[in-house]
Structures are given as structure tokens and as C-alpha cells.
A and B are shown apart, each in its own frame.
Chain A
């Protein structure tokens, strides 16, 4: 929380922050001629985190945290020119703009970007959450004139339960079904590693079995100092040996032919959408696990209240709901129509 004095200093004068605005490829920082999370190849990109709808290949120059750069190198190969910015560090861009990278708590390396120009401060949260996550640094709230926030779960029906409850249900289901395996669909970047780390935190010491598409990212996490315990590959294991085990795969593989090699799997999906029954049914999920790396309704609204910006801009997700909340709180807000953002799976 900032003090009254700095707030007064921040809101004096005409502060429309119009030097940051939506453009053809995403969010554009005009004086520096650079883009934030652009979805087309551009000259200069500031990237908040490694997920595919934020980090794309083909840019000339990329500014990101060292972890995000490592993730991007794994996914797209090395970029031509990279600038690693550690949490808390500031880089000077062209045109008098500076950018500070702050932890966002979403996945390993995820950052909010604090932009400063002509005495104005704009924070782009990227994707974020406020809950503890053993695999990444926690979100750091900071003062700003404009907060550009995500709104993936921007409806009051989305309240994520404590992750301990969901992990307990997963372990109970496994224990009750010694002749089957529990197949959990989880994003390759972030969700899979967080699930493994939380299972370890709950005392689960057995090998966790992986779909091939998850292996490289798990190795990267371990190289970056996130221990995951014993992991093994499904393809190295017999069907018989997988009975009673926990298997992780990307969400798309859940109902795929690949799953036929597993012993009568119980289909689970770890996602914030699982809070809504029919969403779980749409995915043929038997065990919905409400686990998300995005802020839920409470976290989104509390973060806006805590950061207390003069204006809130809302990027992607259920912007209608969060806009309405801002209206009810008499907080100036608007929705930015950004193309190319998808949220169907988290």
C-alpha cells in the first residue's frame, strides 16, 4: 500500500497514459515503439511470461525475465537478441520509457511490467495469481496510475477453493481405485509442475508419470531450481505398473487415443473452469480439479482495491464482469479489445 502523498503526486496533471494503447499486434508502447506480449513477430517485444498466447517466436529483440527467456528458447529456439531482466530490475527503453519487471505469481518467470514515462506509471499484470505457489515467486503489488489487468475469471462465480482440498481429492480418488490410474490433464507450462510440487508438499513420494509432451518443461523447471521429485515416462512403463498411479498429460491428450495405453484411467482436469459443472462435462471429465494459475474473482477485485490505480484497463477474459465491479466501486475502468487472446483451457 502506498501513502497518501505519493497518490496525490501520481494523479495530479492530465494523466491519460495514452502512450500505452491497443494496436494491431497487441499492446503498444508508443514512445519506445515496442509491444507487450505481441502476437505477431515485431521489432521489440516485452514478454510477461512463457504461455503461447503471450510469448510467440520470431521477434527481433525480446525483453523478459531469464526464466521466461529459457522457456521461450525451449519452445521457439533462441531469439536473435534477448535482454534478460531480473525481478526488480529496470531497463531503459527508447523514447524515455523505462520498464521494471515484477513477479506476477502465475508461472515460473512470469512478470508484471511496470512502465514509466513522463512521470506516469502503468502496470501490465500479464496473467497473475495471488495464491502461494511453490514453483514461482509471489505477486508483488505496486502503485501505478493505470493498472492493465487480466480478467480470465472475472465473474463472481469463480472462487478457487484452497489447493490443498483439491490435492486431497486427487489423492483420495487414487487411493480408492487401486486398479485404475488417475489421468490429470494439466498445462505443460506451470500447471503440471505446480501440481507435482503440491503433491510433494502433501507428502506424496511416489513416481509421477508423464506424457512425453510434459517432460522437457519439467526438466527446465528442475534446472531452474524447482525440485519435482521422482518422475517417470508413461512410454517407459507397462500398463500393469501404471495401476494405482498418477499420470499427467496435456489437456488435449485426455480423450485422445494416447490414453488407451493406460489402465482404465479416471479422467481429471486441473483448471479454474472446473468450477462450472457443465464445463467439466464438456471435457468428459470425471474428476474436476478446481486448480488455476489465474487470479479468481476475489483476487482480481482485491488486487485492484489494493493497488488502487486512478484507472483500470481490462485486457482479456470476462471483462464485462470486472468492468461492472469497477463501475459499482466507482472506479474508472475500460475494456481493451485485444485480439489473439484465448483462455479456453486454463
Chain B
């Protein structure tokens, strides 16, 4: 456990991807089986201990520390597991730390009845760093920037094997991945994996910026507001997110829809009539968000927000790798292939006709009315290349909407921003501010500012606080913030009746007076009709 705790700490303090890879690779090389396998499972969030939940850990802490002091500490530290690891009273006699394998065995054996006795006994065997590692292992949410994909690359580096092989053989293996380590260290042949649906790195687009593009050479598609997904069918179907993480379990309705070995690229969306109207056939990102990060999906959810994929590329089909072919050739094969698919689960991302940049700019301006994120430009002769190659694919997002709001409340952030007031709630006037109108909250944001602006805002909050409600500070409503957002919707959950999509702090307008901020009615006029 000490070596694993040290690894977690080093990962926390190492920012570079290569640095993280080297740390994980070195750990995997020098740690014996089965500890390294369990550690790998912990890093990739592949473990689940049903009896050990955050609420249990909090409960155990407040049995030992005053609840108010615990709450103040949690607010300051910004992470429950870390707070508990620091507050946990040192046992009278230091115990023998468990191995990772032993910790996993003990955590697995805990039930709702035994956890209140067994978890403290385990915590008492560790120092503060060990307790942190144990609690992170038990609850997941490592927050140290290690994705499954990164772990696979580190594994490949550690044992000098091709990462494509790791992707392939990883499939179907379970923690602590004994067969995988046996293969990688040359002790055994590769685990059986024929037909395994493995991830291929995505091709990504650059923001267009000021680039002038010759539209004779490029095809245009809508940029749909969902999540990028790769759908792979082999002996079964897998769905991978942009980071290479397997998100199949969240979308069971898509898993039985293919029967040809194939790798498809597209946008995962939920049925509706928001993006692009009836014809567009996709609901807002909000609706899709309800479907993400769920371990189980209810039947109601499957019926009400049915998922589908809007396809825009075909990477492999059967034994044939289409990636070296130009985009137009892949597109032709995709259209041919998609014609045979269930239209409820798959459709094609349409090609938008545009002959000049001026015409395209006009089309892009309509994207807002259509509730679409923008447009994509793809060079017609481009092969499908991993990463973000220059000059081949561009994204051109529609301009955000801007309004002036007044800062009302602030809260400390989590993680890297713990201790900084970095979550801001802002409001607009419900009438004429000179005639007694009130500010009503219209949104909340924790992004859009630079580090220097964050410092400035944090200082503003600290020096303009008029009230405290637990961790929330109310400010004196003296600061105007220009807020950028993608769209705004009617919402019954907020007093203002409005909810913004992706609001961010665009500019700090210390030069403006609060009474000059926008009114609710201005925002209401921006609401896109949503059925």
C-alpha cells in the first residue's frame, strides 16, 4: 500500500502526461503480482466496493471529529477522502500496512453491517498518505488525470509491448489482470482476444480561428451538440468516449444494433426535436447529460431519452482498414453501410452545401436558430489520422451569446481550486433597477477566467462579503460580469425561470455599474423554443 500511496501522490504532483506515464510504468515494473494489477484497476476506476461509499466515510469521520469542524475542514480541503485521511486520529500503536491485494480483499468483504467496524480497523493500519490512497481506492474518483487510455499506454511502456496489443488483449480481462501481466512479461501467450472490439485513437479538429479555407477542397457538416463516440463491433459492441474510456454500459440500446465487424465515428445524441428542429431529430445536450455516468439505466430513461449515433466516418469494416483512404472515399463507404442500419439507432450526419466562406458564415449564423453548435470543415482528401493534424479538419463554432450580470454569491471550488472562491452565481434585474427591481440568479459558472482573473475574483469576494451561509458567501452585488453562454432555456427549477447552457465568465466588467446590468426580460427573449 505504501508504494501505491506514493504513486498516487507523485501522480498528483506531476502535471505532464509523459511524467505520469513514466511514474505508472515504473510502478508496474517494480511491483509484484497481484498488487500491480489491483493498483491498475484502482487507477482506472474499475473497482467497486458496494459497502464503502462516501457517506459511510463521512459518517465514520464525524463519529471521531466534531461535525462542524469536519464540515469546515472539508470545505477548505475540497475532497472528502483527503479530509478524512488528514483528520483521522492516529492509533496508539502503528499497525502493519496492508498490501494493495489485502486491502482489496478486505474492502470487498465489507458489508453494510460490517463496514463501520472493518474500515476503521483498516484505516488504523495506515498513515495519512496511506489512508488517502485506501479511501481513493475504495471510492474511485482519483482525480489525478489518469484515464484508462493513459493507463494502457503506461502498461505498454512498462513492458515494451505495442499499445494496440494491450488494447486488444485488455478486452475481456478482469482485475487483477493476471493473464495480461503474464503475457506482457513473456510468461504466457496472449490471452484469447480474437474479434475484440478495440479502441482506435480519434481524429480531432482545430478551431478555425482566422484561417481562410478554400471550400472547393472541404466538405461541411453540422457540428452536433452531443458527445463524440466511437462505436466498435467485434464479438460484441463497445462504445468509447473521446478519451478512449468505455461508456457502453450507459447506452445499452446501442449494443445490439450492429452485426458486421466495424469501427464507426460519430456523435452520440438523444432523440428529440431540439437541434435542427423535427428534421434534426436530436434533443438538447441537457437531455443527453442525464444519460451519462450511470451504472444502470432505467427503462423509463430508455423510453424517454433514447440514444442514437449520428455517423460521420467509417474507420474499419471487416478486415479492411479504410483510414488511409481520402475522406470522400470513406464517406461513400459509410453511406453505403449506413443504409442497412436500423434508422432508430444510426443516421448520417448530412453534408451542408456551401460554396464560399461568406455563404458558410451565413449558414453558421443560422446554427443558433437551429440550436446546433456550429459547423465542421473536413478536407475532402484527408486520411483519418490519429490526433489533431494541422490543416485537415476544422471546427467553427457559432458565436456565444453575451449578457451583463451582477455577481451575487461565490463558493470555493473543488480540487485544484479548493480555497479559491471560484464558483460564481450571478443575476439579472427583474425590472428597472432604479425603480426597486431585484436581482434574481440566472446562472452559475466556474470557468472562462484566467488564473490571474481568478485571483482577482477571489480577492473581490473576500473583500466584498456581506453574508455567509455555510460555505457560500454573499457579495455586496457591486461587480458586473459579462457572461458568455451557448443557449438559454426555460426552467422551472430556478426562480428566474431560466437556465443557461455552458455559461462562462467572459469578461470582468469592473468599469460598469450594477444598475447597467441586463434585465431578465432581455434574457427571456433569447430562449430558443424547446418542445
A residues apposed to B, CB below 8 Å: 155-157, 159, 275-282, 284-288, 318, 320-321, 324-325, 328
With A288-B13, A328-B66 as known contacts, state yes or no: A278 contacts B415, CB within 8 Å: yes
> CB < 8 Å: which of B13, B86, B419 contacts A275?
B86
Cβ of A19 to closest chain B Cβ, rounded Å: 29
* A-chain residues with CB within 8 Å of residue B13 when the two chains form the complex: 277, 280-281, 285-288
How many angstroms between the C-alpha atoms of A71 and B445 in the bound complex?
45
> CB < 8 Å: which of B14, B66, B73 contacts A157?
B73
Contact code string B41-82 (vs A, CB < 8 Å = 1, else 0): 000000000000000000000000110110011001111001
> CB < 8 Å: which of A157, A284, A320, A328 contacts B87?
A157
Contacts between the two chains (Cβ within 8 Å), count: 69
Q: Is the CB of A157 within 8 A of B86?
A: yes
Q: List 27 A-B contacts (CB under 8 A).
A: A155-B69, A155-B72, A155-B73, A155-B76, A156-B69, A157-B73, A157-B76, A157-B83, A275-B86, A276-B76, A276-B77, A276-B418, A277-B9, A277-B132, A278-B78, A278-B79, A279-B419, A280-B13, A282-B420, A284-B15, A286-B14, A287-B13, A321-B69, A321-B72, A321-B73, A324-B66, A328-B66
Interface centre among A277, A285, A318 (most CB of B within 10 A): A277
Q: Is the CB of B12 within 8 A of A156?
A: no
Chain B count of residues within 8 A CB distance of the other chain: 26
Interface centre among B15, B79, B417, B418 (most CB of A within 10 A): B418
* A-chain residues with CB within 8 Å of residue B78 when the two chains form the complex: 276, 278
* B-chain residues with CB within 8 Å of residue A318 when the two chains form the complex: 72, 76
Q: Is the CB of B417 within 8 A of A277?
A: no
Residue of B nearest to A321 (CB): B72
How many angstroms between the C-alpha atoms of A278 and B13 in the bound complex?
9
How many angstroms between the C-alpha atoms of A279 and B83 in the bound complex?
13
How many angstroms between the C-alpha atoms of A276 and B77 in the bound complex?
6
Cβ of A317 to closest chain B Cβ, rounded Å: 11
With A276-B418, A282-B417 as known contacts, state yes or no: A156 contacts B65, CB within 8 Å: yes
Residue of B nearest to A281 (CB): B416
How many angstroms between the C-alpha atoms of A325 and B13 in the bound complex?
32
With A156-B65, A156-B87, A282-B416 as known contacts, state yes or no: A277 contacts B82, CB within 8 Å: yes
Q: Is the CB of B66 within 8 A of A320?
A: no
Cβ of B128 to closest chain A Cβ, rounded Å: 8
Cβ of B423 to closest chain A Cβ, rounded Å: 15
Top 10 A-B pairs ranked by shortest CB distance? A157-B86, A278-B418, A157-B73, A286-B13, A155-B73, A324-B68, A321-B72, A281-B416, A277-B12, A276-B77
> CB < 8 Å: which of A155, A276, A288, A324 contacts B82?
A276
Cβ of A255 to closest chain B Cβ, rounded Å: 11
* B-chain residues with CB within 8 Å of residue A320 when the two chains form the complex: 72
Cβ of B77 to closest chain A Cβ, rounded Å: 5
* A-chain residues with CB within 8 Å of residue B86 when the two chains form the complex: 156-157, 159, 275-276
* A-chain residues with CB within 8 Å of residue B132 when the two chains form the complex: 277
* B-chain residues with CB within 8 Å of residue A286 when the two chains form the complex: 13-14
Residue of B nearest to A339 (CB): B463
Q: Is the CB of B72 within 8 A of A324?
A: yes
Residue of B nearest to A279 (CB): B419
7 more contacts with CB within 8 A, not counting A278-B77, A279-B418, A285-B13, are: A156-B69, A156-B87, A279-B419, A281-B416, A286-B14, A318-B76, A328-B66
